[in-house]
Amino acid sequence: MLNLDETIENIKHCKHVPESDVEELCTKVIELLIQEANIQHIDTPVTICGDIHGQLHDLITLFKTGGECPNTQYLFLGDFVDRGFYSLESFLLLMALKVRYPDRMTLIRGNHESRQITTVYGFYDECMRKYGTVNVWRYCCEVFDYLSLGAIVGGKGGVFCIHGGLSPEIDTVDQIRILDRKQEVPHEGGMCDLLWSDPEDVNGWAISPRGAGFLFGENEVNKFLHGNNISLIARAHQLVMEGYKEMFNSGLVTVWSAPNYCYRCGNVASVLAIDDELNRDYKVFEASTQDINAIPSKKPAIDYFI
């Protein structure tokens, strides 16, 4: 039987987790996720976190900044893996905390929680390097398919949380609720857009330079806020040098939680604490030096960068 508290400590210290323990952990997480809706409803107070991208020591700093789980309730907006050197440990830590404190940890899917993306941007190679087989990568990819697509914090008038952004195919949160999420991320359509789209100063919808999703402007944001009785869209997905960026009369915010992204961008990171009155408190933190000091021999690919 998995000793969760011991496993959590071992992961934090980058100790090898046996393959059988990874399989058991993934199975337990799926048992929880399968009961969760496409859009999870989360009570306040909660702390919202953006991309992690395998930066384990910065994830540990994040918990020191925002408060340790379970004392603080957390919502992570996806992109746990790829690019950083500790994608596996980062995802294992979040899964272990999810199993240990299921009501205090919510994980939703990012565009990198995908088989196709992780074979290109580092996670697959990392699993192969650390275990010598594809099994651990496969167990984690199975978990990806069960992750929720979004969340609403605080009920009516609250915060809509998503990894990427809006879709021209989706006008209401109810339309997201009926999507079939238990699949590899499609190349197009509503589910794809939610994980890939970006806000931009455009009129209407525009083609995204990412090759998936769309760019959407202030009118689309205001229409979605009004039509769904929400006050804020909180999303991640884009590097922000200051750790967070509010747009469109503060109707949308990008939260970025990977400081010194790819160990070279020099950005700070943040988490967003939402209180019972839906007030916003951005907590900014800087990069740990530990990841850099412990760089493994093989570096992940870092070409697609936005």
Torsion angle (degrees, nearest 10) of CA 209, 210, 213, 217? -40
Q: Which CATH number fits domain 18-294: 3.60.21.10, 1.10.10.10, 3.40.50.620, 3.30.70.20?
A: 3.60.21.10
Other C-beta atoms within 10 Å of 121: how many?
22
Helix, strand, or coil (residue 86): coil
Q: Is 163 a catalytic residue?
A: no
Degrees to nearest 5, angle at CA 104 with 98 and 109: 55
Q: Tell which wins on pLDDT, 129 or 292.
A: 129
Q: Which residue has the tokens 């107070």?
A: 45
Please give the model's pTM, rounded to 2 decimal places. Answer: 0.95
Task: Enumerate residues 6+ apart whose C-beta is below 8 A from 261.
Answer: 53, 55, 83, 239, 267
Predicted pLDDT of residue 290? 72
Residue in 70, 153, 66 with CA at minimum distance from that of residue 108: 153
Mean pLDDT, to the nearest integer, of 174-190?
Answer: 98
Give helix then strand counts, H and E, for the chain. 11, 14
Give φ, ψ of 242 to 5 degrees.
-90, 0
Give φ, ψ of 170 to 5 degrees.
-125, 115
Predicted pLDDT of residue 296? 53
Q: Quick: pLDDT tens for 27-71.
A: 999 999 999 999 999 999 999 999 999 999 999 999 999 999 999
Q: How far apart are CA 282 and CA 88, in angstroms?
A: 27
Q: Quick: pLDDT tens for 83-133.
A: 999 999 999 999 999 999 999 999 999 999 999 999 999 999 999 999 999
Length of the chain: 306
Mean pLDDT, to the nearest integer, of 212-232?
Answer: 98
> Taking all residues of the chain, what is their mean pLDDT, rounded to a whole number?
95
Predicted pLDDT of residue 298? 46
In this predicted structure, the answer to whether residue 161 has a pLDDT above a threshold of 60 is yes
Give φ, ψ of 228 to 5 degrees.
-115, 10
Give φ, ψ of 77 to 5 degrees.
-95, 25
> Which is the catalytic residue, given 112, 187, 226, 237?
112
Mean pLDDT, to the nearest integer, of 9-22?
Answer: 97
Q: What percent of the chain has pLDDT over 90?
A: 94
b/e map of 226-265 (b: 16 or more CB within 10 Å)?
eebebebbbbbbbbbeebbbebbeebbbbbbbbbbbbbee
